[in-house]
């Protein structure tokens, strides 16, 4: 689909502002003065705009202006301000008076008949009694002198949420009403609706809340849903008759010029959807100081105004605040609420349209009924067209590329869907219209199961722990209710079971929290039963309207059997919930080595590398950033000795403050004193290369594919090199390291051998029957271990400070599997033992001690370097410029180098803030895949020891492998998600004797690495686990039309979405293939076919094999990262040949661009669609 978005002419909204009252403006001044006087501790800005004047505004202002002030900021003394406030104001909240609702009874007749447990029933009655505590009426003072109050006059009694929320709130009222209906308080429920209708009649829409400073925005539109629920219980036609005109007016408001966005798809069909858009471009009065503080990042007034509108619009959403509205998930100033089409807002408007149609039918208004049924059907189609993501099985918010700026049209792109997981992604199920497709409901359930949202105490709002209150780990009553009710109403047995399970968790956490604190809370921490939530801009609140309402609604629906315990020690759990709790309740402590701090080891660089970094920096200043590759300069070889070359460099004429060398002078200098980058390796013709080897890819029957496979095979010859004689004779003039045997390089700027690339190169060489070339690569890597104690990242002097994913043992294993070469095993084993010691040394090893006292040893990446990487020195320095202290910069450089050691350079996987590169924290992460590679090494060493008759070594490493397998499952496995998740150390690289293990320290973002353990036989012994992982992969959102994405986060980093990489495809495919599960083999072949096809089409388009590919677009190569896309390409060639060797390609299966093999299973069809 390629829709275009057309916003209304006034979509920028610069003129859409609802004026506030003079009283609010004055109270904001009082608020600012109070902050300077009383200080920030426990300061609540809302309290000051909730004050009521005792006398007229003019008199109060004069008294305020006459207060003695001191200092530059005109600060009023504490005593003077206290006296002033006491003299001229009534307390905040005095504008509402307690009210005893006539329809409240301590135990209503027919109250919660399904609640049989006496303990739960007693608590439910206490929650019911809270309605009386939260009932208010507007005071006579407000009704008689509204100009003295920010409280708006309302005709009927209200239920307030509680604590600082002293007035009625719009969307809270829906769940309050649901609870009141469970409490049989029908008249109080109707009174709330009457007040909200009064808002519409007065302002044209329901306000966010019942204060004058809320007149500039609404909140999620649920008035029709309130009326519907009351009518369902009471059949009160008069209420419907009174409500319908207001609902029609509200519907017009949400479809007005400022809210409506029209999406036109490729077929010319229009889809109307709505967005939040506050009519305000100033600081919110109730949070004026904070808004100004955040807006201080913006210099221009128009930028500030737009930011204030985004803040107010996020408040209009009810989700104030969440990463859901931010372009950068950890930078509040990147709020872009008005640039987002939200799933749930459009669900609420769809509900309104269905309700209006229903009410019109009740009242006999047939034309209105038909009109709104038609509108509802159109919106349902719009929701599915724009928000539905079939791969993820969720509805995703859509980001408008051009934000709130007017543009006639814009191209719709899949990447504009926000692929982060939020509870709102599942809200459409709340509407019956989405239940008609049972397959869709089942898909959404599968997605929900594996989403990572469901925890031991309820549904998390998101997976991102941002510190904002509408994010992880907080759970909110409205979200629990809508998702539970959606599953419940779907009619599926499994869905009802899941709904009841979540409801039980939520009831229990509310109960335990109430017993601990004596209060119901606004929000809860879904990781810890009974723990209230935190985050946001105010301290946690109690009361609490919607929490009370949802608990009573759940108890009314599901009840609580007499024999089901609700105490903190026991819970009646089904298998699904038990598996979730098993992880959430595990307590581990982490014991880092004594040298775990930033002052870790540093491997010294060579003089020639240090000098070439100076040349690199000068070249950047001279030639500029365009097409500049810093690696080229540290790959240069000196023609004569370093001293002579340095003297010539230092003698170059320079000008300006930065000492810039002219383009001509620098070009002449480089040509005179250096050989070209790459001249230190010479082309080599491998003796075991044949244009078409005997027995080559026997399963490839299609002539077109076979011809291409031979082209790929021929690339081994193009990529074969040997170190030049110059390097062997004068290594001091080169950064290239002398290697004894021929190499196969990846290609393009990667002019030297690389460690982990070599594994997939070898897999391809074995498919090409080039066994001796494969052995030569292994010999070179053994040489590196013998020389340095570990295999280097790559064969350059600047790579001596780090390794890469340790796959040497896997290379030896694959070669031995084909050749039975025991001598190669004998030569390799000592190096493998040394490498194993390196990855379990002090700097890499982390010991996890669980609650039972069992130790689990795991490893992390940890580069022996704390400076800019020479091959990217200019880039690293620029990134580090955000840090002021030298130690901070050193730690950042170590994190960068450690991420490069991981091979995933770079990815949000290593960042605390997924859109801020400077938050890299690689050394603070225990990675799943690194530990899988070391486990593979341990298994391989045991195998090689057995081959060579070393029984004790074999037994020792089998024991080590079993221990690491247990460690991987104990620390990384997440049963809810069906994945193994990286674990973040709370204290980072800083030493601490122990730390409490928490489930939230698992990185719950979905990465391809989460599935790598399946590559190892040990993890495939449990068929149920394999099936769980397969389901998780299918519902993960990773599998696309052209392969497996590296992550779901489109960060601009190359090891993130939408890039797919050959190694990840291979390990996951091979893991599925070897599992022995029929469905897994089918899925493995499906992914392999996609990957082969995208490589083929890319090759036919460009004449080259690529380093990485865009998994959304068949044949498109990948992008992102710190260098331009590369061709060649070693591991891509190797994986394609490996897949073709395994799966072949039938003669009748097309590989053309438009014709995909029709023999796809249901899963692959869904994933490609």
With a cut of 60, say whether residue 11 has pLDDT above it: no
Task: List pLDDT tens digits, range 1096-1116.
Answer: 999 999 999 999 999 999 999
- Determine, yes or no, domain membership for 1081: yes
Ranges of H-type helices in 518-574 = 545-558
Using CA atoms, how far residue 885 sits from 597, 603, 604, 873, 904, in Å, is 16, 22, 22, 18, 27
User: Is 1066 in the same domain as 994?
Assistant: no
Question: Which residue of the set 286, 344, 500, 905 is catalytic?
Answer: 905
Whole-number pLDDT of residue 848? 78
The one catalytic residue in 741, 1107, 1110, 1141 is 1107
Decide if 240 is inside a domain. no
Peptide linkage before 321 cis (omega within 30 of 0): yes
pLDDT interval class at 855 (50, 70, 90): confident
327-351 mean pLDDT: 90
Distance of CA 775 to the CA centre of its chain: 42
Query: What integer is the mean pLDDT of 55-83?
Result: 93
Whether 570 shows a pLDDT value over 70: the answer reads no
Confidence band of 449 (pLDDT split at 50, 70, 90)? confident
pLDDT tens digits, residue range 183-236? 999 999 999 999 999 999 999 999 999 999 999 999 999 999 999 999 999 999
Q: What is the pLDDT of residue 1158?
A: 32
505 and 437 Cβ atoms separated by less than 8 Å? no
Domain end (from 1005, 1039, 1055):
1005
Task: List Cα–Cα distances, 385 to 2, 251, 390, 490, 599, in angstroms.
Answer: 11, 22, 11, 21, 54
For residue range 587-639, what is the model confidence (pLDDT) as tens digits?
222 222 333 433 568 888 899 999 999 999 999 999 999 889 999 999 999 99
Is 170:222 a contact under the CB 8 Å cutoff? yes
Nearest partner of 282 among 46, 28, 518, 83, judged by Cα:
28
In a domain, 1082, yes or no: yes
The answer to which of 15-19, 435-439, 480-484, 841-845 has the lowest mean pLDDT is: 15-19
| More confident site: 724 or 916 | 724
Residue 31 belongs to some domain of the structure: no
Count structural domains, the chain.
3
Q: Which helix (H) or strand (E) holds 118?
A: helix 118-133
Q: How far apart are CA 520 and CA 522, in angstroms?
A: 7
Q: Are 1032 and 1050 in contact (CB under 8 A)?
A: no
Strands 340-341 and 388-389: unpaired
Q: What angle do CA 812, 816, 817 make, to 5 degrees?
A: 115
Residue range 682-716, pLDDT digits in tens: 999 999 999 999 999 999 999 999 999 999 999 99
Q: Tell me the per-residue pLDDT of 755-787, one tens digit each, with 9 for 90 and over.
A: 999 999 999 999 999 999 999 999 999 999 999
Per residue in 494-539, pLDDT tens?
A: 999 999 999 999 999 999 999 999 999 999 999 899 999 988 777 7
pLDDT the model gives residue 267: 74
DSSP classification of residue 1123: S
What CATH number is given to the structural domain containing 666?
1.50.10.10
904 and 760 within one domain: no
What number is the average pLDDT over the span 1081-1091?
97
The pLDDT, as a whole number, for residue 987 is: 61
Is 1017 labeled as catalytic in the residue annotation? no
Please, which pLDDT band fits residue 999 given cuts at 50, 70 and 90? low
Secondary structure (3-state) at 687: coil
- Residue 310 among the catalytic residues: no
pLDDT at 9: 33
CB 135 within 8 A of CB 99: yes
What is the number of H-type helices and E-type strands within the chain?
38, 32
**Do 766 and 627 share a structural domain?**
yes
Q: How confident is the model at residue 918 (pLDDT cuts 50, 70, 90)?
A: confident
Local structure of 858: helix, strand or coil:
strand
For 138, which DSSP code? E
pLDDT at 583: 26
The model's pLDDT over 259-313, given as tens digits with 9 standing for 90+, comes to 999 877 767 778 999 999 999 999 999 999 889 999 998 988 999 999 999 999 9
- Banded model confidence at residue 405, pLDDT cuts 50, 70, 90: low
Tell me: do 791 and 709 sit in the same domain: yes
Are 615 and 592 part of one and the same domain? no
Residue with more model confidence, 926 or 659: 926
Residues 150 and 23 sit within 8 Å (Cβ to Cβ): yes
**965 and 1015 fall within a common domain:** no
Condensed to tens digits (0 to 9), the pLDDT of residues 165-178 reads: 889 999 999 999 99
Q: Are 1131 and 1062 in contact (CB under 8 A)?
A: yes
Would the pLDDT of 852 be above 90?
Answer: no
Averaged pLDDT, 88-117? 95
Average the pLDDT over 882-908 and give the result: 93
Report the C-alpha gap between 814 and 766 in whole angstroms.
8
Q: Which of 1005, 1024, 1043 is the last residue of a domain?
A: 1005
Do residues 652 and 621 touch, judged by C-beta distance below 8 A? no
**Contact between 398 and 416 (Cβ < 8 Å):** yes
Q: Is the peptide bond before 978 cis (omega within 30 degrees of 0)?
A: no
Q: Could you tell me the residue range of the domain that residue 1082 belongs to? A: 1007-1169
pLDDT in tens, 359-379: 999 999 999 999 999 999 999
Q: Please check whether residues 996 and 1020 belong to one and the same domain.
A: no
Residues 997 and 1079 placed together within one structural domain of the fold: no
| Domain identity same for 669 and 768 | yes
Same domain, 901 and 870: yes
- Whether omega for the bond prior to residue 1058 falls within 30 degrees of 0, making it cis, is yes
CA distance 1130 to 1108: 11
Is 318 a domain residue? no
pLDDT at 16: 73
Q: Is position 114 within any domain? A: no
895 shares a domain with 906: yes
* pLDDT the model gives residue 703: 97
For residue 567, what pLDDT is reported?
A: 66
Evaluate whether residue 143 is within a structural domain: no
Per-residue pLDDT at 834 exceeds 80: yes
Better pLDDT: 913 or 452: 452
* Domain assignment present for 737: yes
Confidence at 929, pLDDT banded by 50, 70, 90 = very high
Mean pLDDT across 21-42: 92
Q: What percent of the chain has pLDDT over 90?
A: 76
Q: Give kind and range of the element (H or E) at residue 238.
A: helix 237-254
Spatial distance between the Cα atoms of 707 and 701, rounded to a whole number of angstroms: 10
Residues 799 and 870 in one domain: no
Q: How confident is the model at residue 353 (pLDDT cuts 50, 70, 90)?
A: very high
> 1005, 1030, 1048 — which closes off a domain?
1005
- Residue 1134 pLDDT > 50, yes or no? yes
């Amino acid at each position: 689909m390629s829709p275009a978005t057309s916003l209304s002419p006034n979509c920028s909204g610069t003129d859409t502002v609802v004026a506030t009252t003079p009283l609010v403006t004055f109270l904001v001044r009082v608020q600012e003065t109070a902050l300077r006087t009383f200080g920030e501790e426990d300061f609540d800005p809302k309290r000051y705009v909730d004050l009521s004047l005792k006398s007229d505004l003019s008199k109060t202002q004069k008294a305020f202006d006459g207060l003695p002030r001191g200092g530059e900021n005109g600060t009023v003394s504490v005593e003077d301000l206290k006296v002033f406030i006491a003299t001229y104001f009534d307390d905040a909240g005095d504008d509402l008076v307690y009210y005893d609702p006539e329809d409240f009874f301590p135990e209503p007749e027919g109250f919660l008949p399904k609640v049989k447990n006496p303990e739960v029933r007693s608590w439910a009655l206490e929650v019911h009694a809270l309605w009386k505590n939260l009932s208010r009426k507007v005071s006579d003072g407000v009704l008689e002198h509204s100009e003295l109050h920010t409280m708006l006059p309302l005709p009927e009694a209200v239920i307030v949420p509680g604590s600082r929320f002293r007035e009625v709130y719009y969307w809270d009222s829906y769940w309050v009403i649901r609870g009141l209906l469970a409490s049989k308080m029908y008249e109080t429920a109707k009174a709330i609706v009457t007040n909200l209708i009064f808002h519409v009649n007065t302002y044209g829409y329901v306000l966010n809340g019942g204060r004058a400073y809320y007149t500039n925005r609404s909140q999620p539109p649920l008035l029709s849903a309130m009326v519907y629920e009351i009518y369902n219980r009471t059949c009160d036609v008069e209420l419907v008759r009174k409500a319908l005109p207001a609902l029609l007016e509200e519907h017009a408001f949400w479809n007005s010029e400022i809210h409506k966005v029209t999406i036109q798809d490729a077929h010319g069909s229009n889809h109307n959807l709505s967005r939040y858009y506050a009519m305000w471009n100033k600081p919110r009065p109730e949070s004026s100081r904070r808004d100004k503080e955040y807006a201080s990042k913006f210099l221009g007034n128009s930028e500030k105004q737009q930011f204030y509108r985004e803040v107010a619009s996020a408040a209009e959403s009810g989700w104030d605040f969440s990463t859901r509205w931010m372009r950068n998930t950890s930078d509040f100033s990147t709020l872009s609420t008005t640039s987002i089409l939200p799933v749930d807002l459009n669900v609420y408007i769809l509900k309104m349209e269905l309700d209006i149609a229903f009410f019109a039918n009740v009242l006999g208004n047939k034309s209105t009924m038909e009109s709104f049924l038609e509108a509802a059907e159109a919106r349902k189609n719009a929701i599915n067209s724009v928000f539905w993501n079939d791969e993820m099985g969720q509805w995703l918010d859509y980001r408008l590329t051009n934000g709130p700026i007017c543009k006639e049209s814009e191209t719709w792109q899949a990447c504009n869907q926000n692929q982060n997981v939020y509870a709102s992604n599942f809200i459409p199920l709340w509407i019956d219209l989405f239940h008609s497709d049972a397959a869709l409901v089942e898909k959404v359930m599968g997605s929900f199961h594996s989403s990572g949202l469901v925890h031991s105490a309820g549904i998390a709002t998101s997976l991102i722990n941002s510190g904002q209150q509408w994010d992880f780990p907080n759970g909110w009553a409205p979200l629990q209710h809508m998702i539970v009710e959606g599953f419940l109403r779907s009619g599926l047995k499994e869905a009802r079971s899941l709904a009841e399970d979540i409801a039980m968790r939520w009831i229990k956490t509310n109960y335990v929290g109430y017993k601990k604190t004596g209060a119901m809370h606004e929000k809860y921490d879904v990781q810890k039963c009974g723990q209230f939530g935190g985050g946001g801009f105010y301290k946690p609140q109690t009361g609490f309207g919607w929490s009370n309402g949802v608990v009573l609604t759940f108890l009314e629906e599901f009840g609580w059997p007499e024999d089901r315990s609700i105490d903190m020690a026991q819970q009646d759990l089904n298998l699904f919930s038990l598996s979730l709790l098993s992880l959430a309740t595990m307590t581990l402590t982490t014991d880092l080595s004594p040298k775990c701090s930033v002052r870790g080891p540093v491997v010294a660089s060579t003089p020639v590398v240090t000098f070439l970094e100076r040349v690199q920096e000068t070249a950047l200043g001279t030639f500029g950033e365009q097409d500049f590759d810093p690696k080229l300069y540290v790959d240069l070889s000196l023609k004569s000795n370093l001293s002579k070359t340095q003297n010539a460099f230092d003698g170059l004429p320079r000008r300006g403050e930065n000492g810039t060398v002219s383009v001509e002078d620098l070009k002449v200098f480089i040509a005179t004193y250096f050989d070209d980058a790459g001249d230190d390796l010479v082309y080599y013709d491998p003796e075991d290369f044949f244009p078409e080897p005997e027995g080559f890819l026997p399963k490839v029957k299609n002539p077109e594919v076979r011809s291409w496979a031979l082209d790929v095979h021929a690339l081994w010859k193009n990529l074969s090199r040997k170190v030049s004689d110059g390097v062997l004779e004068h290594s001091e003039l080169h950064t290239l390291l002398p290697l004894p045997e021929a190499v196969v390089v990846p290609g393009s700027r990667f002019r030297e051998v690389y460690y982990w690339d070599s594994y997939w190169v070898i897999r391809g060489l074995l498919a090409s029957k080039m066994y001796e070339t494969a052995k030569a690569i292994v010999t070179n890597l053994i040489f590196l271990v013998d020389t340095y104690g570990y295999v280097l990242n790559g064969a350059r002097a600047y790579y001596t400070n780090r390794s890469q994913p340790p796959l040497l043992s896997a290379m030896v294993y694959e070669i031995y599997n084909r050749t039975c070469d025991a001598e190669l095993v004998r030569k390799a084993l000592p190096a493998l033992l040394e490498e194993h010691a390196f990855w379990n040394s002090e700097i890499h090893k982390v010991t996890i001690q669980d609650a039972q006292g069992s130790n689990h040893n795991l490893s992390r990446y940890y580069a022996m370097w704390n400076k800019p990487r020479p091959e990217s020195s200019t880039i690293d320095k620029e990134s580090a410029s955000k840090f002021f202290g030298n130690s901070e910069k050193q730690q950042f450089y170590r994190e960068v180098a450690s991420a490069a050691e991981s091979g995933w350079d770079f990815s949000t996987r290593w960042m605390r803030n997924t859109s801020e590169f400077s938050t890299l924290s690689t050394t603070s992460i225990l990675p799943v895949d690194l530990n899988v590679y070391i486990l593979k090494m341990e298994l391989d060493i045991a195998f090689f020891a057995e081959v060579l008759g070393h029984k004790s070594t074999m037994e020792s490493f089998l024991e080590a492998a079993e221990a690491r397998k247990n460690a991987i499952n104990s620390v990384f496995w997440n049963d809810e998600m069906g994945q193994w998740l990286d674990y973040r150390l709370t204290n980072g690289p800083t030493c601490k004797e122990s730390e409490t293990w928490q489930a939230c320290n698992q990185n719950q973002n979905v990465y391809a690495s989460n599935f790598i353990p399946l590559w190892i036989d040990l993890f495939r012994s449990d068929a149920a686990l394999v099936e769980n992982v397969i389901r998780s992969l299918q519902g993960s959102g990773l599998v696309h039309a052209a392969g497996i994405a590296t992550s779901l986060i489109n960060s601009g980093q190359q090891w993130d979405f939408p890039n797919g990489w050959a190694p990840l495809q291979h390990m996951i495919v091979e893991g599925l293939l070897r599992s022995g599960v029929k469905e897994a083999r089918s899925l493995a072949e499906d992914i392999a076919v996609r990957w082969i096809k995208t490589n083929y089409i890319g090759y036919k388009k460009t004449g080259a094999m690529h380093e990485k590919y865009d998994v959304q677009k068949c044949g498109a190569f990948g992008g992102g990262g710190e260098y331009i896309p590369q061709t060649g390409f070693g591991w891509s060639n190797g994986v394609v040949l490996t897949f073709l060797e395994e799966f072949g390609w039938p003669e009748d299966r097309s590989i053309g661009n438009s014709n995909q093999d029709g023999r796809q299973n249901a899963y692959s069809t869904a994933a490609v669609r």
